[in-house]
Copies of this chain bind each other. A is one copy, B any other.
Amino acid sequence: MSVDKDALVKPRLLRGFRDYLPEQMIARQKMIATIREVYERYGFVPLDTPAMEYTETLLGKYGEESSKQIFRFVDLEGNDVALRFDLTVPLARVVAQYQDLPRPFRRYQVGPVWRFDKPDPGRFREFIQFDLDTVGSDSMAADAEILSGICDTMEALGIERYRVRCSNRKILNALIAFADVDPRRATHVFRVIDKIDRIGREGVRQELTRGRVDASGDVIPGLGLDERAVSRIMEFLNIAGSTRAEVLDALDELFRGIPGAQQGIDELRRIDEYLTALDISEQKVVFDVSIARGLDYYTGPIFETILLDAPEFGAVFSGGRYDGLVERFLGEKIPATGASIGVDRLLAALLKLGVVELRPSTAQVLVTVMEPDRLVEYQKITRRLRQAGINAELYLGPDRSIRKQLKYADRQQIPIAVIVGPDEFARREVSIKDLREGLRRQGEVSERSEWLKARFGQVTVPRDKMLDVIREILDQEARGL
């Protein structure tokens, strides 16, 4: 001990924060690369903005969004600053600040955001968002691109069973008129409707009227709407159809003559037309009037994506159209539409669905070291593998026994080990061990010593055949053999 024990710092994280150890990170990086690739195919380009901004940039001059719990402090120069709580407000600042950016500006941004929420299992104070936005186009084609990209993303991630639910704030606003509710209460009504998945139709009815007591005994006050309003809202929520067009026809009928309704319905009709051109099936993107998305700022189409085999993760990819984006800065509305992925939530869902696996290493080969005095030889072998584009780790750990080194490879899920002992050195050979093969056949012999002797999946070849044999094993693995 070279340090006073009292001076030791306990290694720990702040509440609501977490580390991403390699196996999580490898999976996360792969997932993010897939999403990036999909949206780059659509012409989206990356943007990065600082973690920290003036608080007024993030919250507006009068702190309109100050209900948000944020990490806010005064810096050493006396500035009132805060960590960003989303990637949308910084995008708004960028659009206002660099007016020569191309329009529409299709950008994606991946990075952490910070919210001083109450931490829960699955809810963190620092989390990664992947945002996609198209700023400067009021064409529904921009919304259709985001939606089509969601479908391409799901499929690129290996998810077949998902559903994108789509509605429109203009239609919800028409509902307020249709049900004759005070427009100032619209947001409250939307928030209640948005809960229908969790609390059911009866729950919604109760929250729209006199309130209810939830499972934990908490009292949830009702909005006190009258029966006529509620029955109209319930009538609206009954709208369904087996195609997007059927839903729109039903809406058309219900909302005939309601101000603003037609525009919302037309927007969805246009989206339907574009989605059809883009080959997006009626099963993948559905029009569902029961979604409302809590955020105030949506003004047009809204959408959210659920995984049919993991609905408990909720909406993993959601967004909509919003006009107020740069208003805080320029005082004018600029049309924008976008979506946001909760990266951590989506990753958790992918893991649960088994379409992503956790691996602690990306190495394809472990070069073991049987004779430490000949490390230079092992380095040369490792270098040859790397130059051939194979990820190769040279064993530099403390264990001298080959058994323990192979166990290490196993634990790290490195599929191949290269073994060179005195015999191999003498004959300029290498032994190559396919560790998956060894694992598969482990059951065939009962004694560990026998198993080791059996050398399942191990071949000894001249050094100049090493790359061929390893490539063949990796090929087999890639083809799932």
Give A contacts to B, CB under 8 Å.
1-3, 5-15, 17-22, 25-26, 28-29, 40-43, 45-54, 56-57, 60-62, 69, 71, 73-77, 79, 81, 83, 93-94, 96-98, 101-104, 106-107, 112, 114, 116, 126, 134, 136-137, 139, 141-142, 144-145, 148, 152, 273-274, 277-279, 327-333, 360-363, 375-377, 379-380, 383, 386, 389-394, 396-398, 408, 411-412
> Considering the chains assembled together, what is the distance between the CA atoms of A24 and B6 in angstroms?
47
Residue contact A17 to B328, C-beta cutoff 8 Å: no
> Considering the chains assembled together, what is the distance between the CA atoms of A54 and B379 in angstroms?
41
How many copies altogether?
2
13 interchain pairs, CB-CB under 8 A: A2-B327, A7-B61, A7-B62, A9-B57, A12-B57, A14-B50, A14-B81, A19-B48, A20-B46, A41-B392, A69-B76, A75-B116, A104-B396
Chain B: minimal CB distance from A309 (Å): 26
A148 partner residues in chain B, CB cutoff 8 A = 383
Residue contact A47 to B26, C-beta cutoff 8 Å: no
Residue contact B333 to A273, C-beta cutoff 8 Å: no
A22 partner residues in chain B, CB cutoff 8 A = 45-47, 107
Residue contact B77 to A48, C-beta cutoff 8 Å: no
> Considering the chains assembled together, what is the distance between the CA atoms of A45 and B360 in angstroms?
8
> Considering the chains assembled together, what is the distance between the CA atoms of A266 and B62 in angstroms?
65
A96 partner residues in chain B, CB cutoff 8 A = 11
Tell me the nearest residue of chain B to A380, going by C-beta: B277
**Further contacts, 16 of them, CB under 8 A, given A9-B61, A19-B97, A102-B397:** A1-B332, A7-B62, A8-B61, A8-B331, A9-B54, A10-B329, A19-B98, A25-B45, A26-B45, A42-B393, A43-B391, A43-B392, A43-B393, A69-B76, A136-B397, A277-B376
Chain B: minimal CB distance from A94 (Å): 6
Chain B: minimal CB distance from A373 (Å): 12
Residue contact B61 to A48, C-beta cutoff 8 Å: no
Residue contact A14 to B54, C-beta cutoff 8 Å: yes
**Which 9 residue pairs across A and B have the least CB separation, nearest first?**
A43-B393, A73-B73, A22-B45, A20-B48, A11-B97, A25-B46, A11-B96, A17-B50, A277-B376
Residue contact A328 to B9, C-beta cutoff 8 Å: yes
> Considering the chains assembled together, what is the distance between the CA atoms of A365 and B145 in angstroms?
16
